[in-house]
Amino acid sequence: MTGEDIHALKDIASWLNERTGIYYPEKKLDILKHKLFKICIEQQMNIKEIAALLMFENGSSSSSLALMVASAASTNHTAFFREDIWEFFKDVLAQTIKTTDKVRIWSAAASSGEEAYSIAIVAAELLGLNMLSKKVTMLGTDIDFQILKQAEEGIYPPDRMEDIEPDLRKKYFTELSDCSVKGIWKIHDDIKNICLFRRMNLKKRPYPFKQRFHIIFCRNVLYYFIPDERERIVNELYRVTENGGYLFVSVTESLTGMSTPWQRVPGKTGIYRKKG
């Protein structure tokens, strides 16, 4: 990389961190460059020009270039039924349903929708499809508007479908027969219709909700942020959670060392509760 490229990438990295919280340390600037390659080709711009335009727009995080850069820089890896939490989640949901007419659940870094749909499928298994929309609402948000389009479509290729048990796949997905590739599946409308997807930046606070959530999933995203920012995010999540509500972070992310009122659920890794 040339000195000019490094300089421009540092500017883009600090813009990203400032505006989205996505953090690229100096040793990962080559990865950032790689991720911006497609934008360079499509927009016919080099790294220096992208950096200059972002600075010129005075850090706006909603211009089309800004949205493209944030989308390219984020890592969207996700999976259906990721991590071994689903039996416990089902118990939490069963308890919560007894305390409220409608359970409000938020997948706060929803990516292409697998997490939100896994949650909705567990809820459907617990309640049955005819009660699902009466008893549960599901919001999925992400900073990346492009990945949210995939979430809204709810169509998944064969490799994504491998983590779903065959009987659940058969029950809640339809294989698309009009595709040239075999094994493309679409989530059923009964599940899709309880899930609403919207773009939202976790760094922008206060979060704009009129009603608090009973259960929040904020998994595999906290590592994007510097420690102070992580703490501010989990404390804002606390504010928008109902008393006695739950926060699921990833088993690899912990709130240990943070100044936060969240209480760890005994015996569970990455699961926290708000005082009831």
Ligand X SMILES: C[S@@+](CC[C@H](N)C(=O)[O-])C[C@H]1O[C@@H](n2cnc3c(N)ncnc32)[C@H](O)[C@@H]1O
Site residues (vs ligand X, CB under 6 A): 20-22, 74-78, 82, 109, 111, 115, 142-144, 147, 201-203, 219-221, 224, 250
Both tokens assigned to 60: 């706006």
Question: What is the nearest approach in angstroms of ligand X to the Cβ of residue 59?
Answer: 14
Task: Report the SS3 class of residue 32.
Answer: helix
* Distance, CA of 250 to CA of 221 (rounded, Å): 9
Q: Match 């109902």 to its residue by tokens.
A: 242
Task: Report the SS3 class of residue 196.
Answer: strand
Q: What is the largest CA-CA distance in the chain?
A: 61
Among 135, 197, 193, 125, smallest CA distance to 165 is for 125
Question: What is the nearest approach in angstroms of ligand X to the Cβ of residue 27?
Answer: 20
Among 148, 143, 146, 187, smallest CA distance to 169 is for 187
Question: What is the nearest approach in angstroms of ligand X to the Cβ of residue 43?
Answer: 20
* Distance, CA of 69 to CA of 42 (rounded, Å): 12
Task: Give whichever of 220 and 260 is closer to ligand X, judged by the CB atom.
Answer: 220
Question: What is the nearest approach in angstroms of ligand X to the Cβ of residue 109?
Answer: 3
Question: What is the nearest approach in angstroms of ligand X to the Cβ of residue 21?
Answer: 4
Task: Give whichever of 96 and 250 is closer to ligand X, judged by the CB atom.
Answer: 250
- What is the separation of C-alpha 59 from the centre of its chain, rounded to a whole number of angstroms? 23
Task: Give whichever of 136 and 216 is closer to ligand X, judged by the CB atom.
Answer: 216
N-term to C-term CA, the chain: 54
Task: Give whichever of 133 and 269 is closer to ligand X, judged by the CB atom.
Answer: 269
Task: Give whichever of 173 and 248 is closer to ligand X, judged by the CB atom.
Answer: 248
Task: Give whichever of 188 and 219 is closer to ligand X, judged by the CB atom.
Answer: 219
* Distance, CA of 23 to CA of 30 (rounded, Å): 13
Among 151, 157, 196, smallest CA distance to 175 is for 157
Question: What is the nearest approach in angstroms of ligand X to the Cβ of residue 159?
Answer: 15
Task: Give whichever of 20 and 96 is closer to ligand X, judged by the CB atom.
Answer: 20
Q: Are 136 and 120 in contact (CB under 8 A)?
A: yes
Task: Give whichever of 68 and 221 is closer to ligand X, judged by the CB atom.
Answer: 221
Question: What is the nearest approach in angstroms of ligand X to the Cβ of residue 75?
Answer: 5
Question: What is the nearest approach in angstroms of ligand X to the Cβ of residue 39?
Answer: 15
* Helical (H) or strand (E) element with 31: helix 29-43
Task: Report the SS3 class of residue 60.
Answer: coil
* DSSP β-bridge partners for residue 233: none
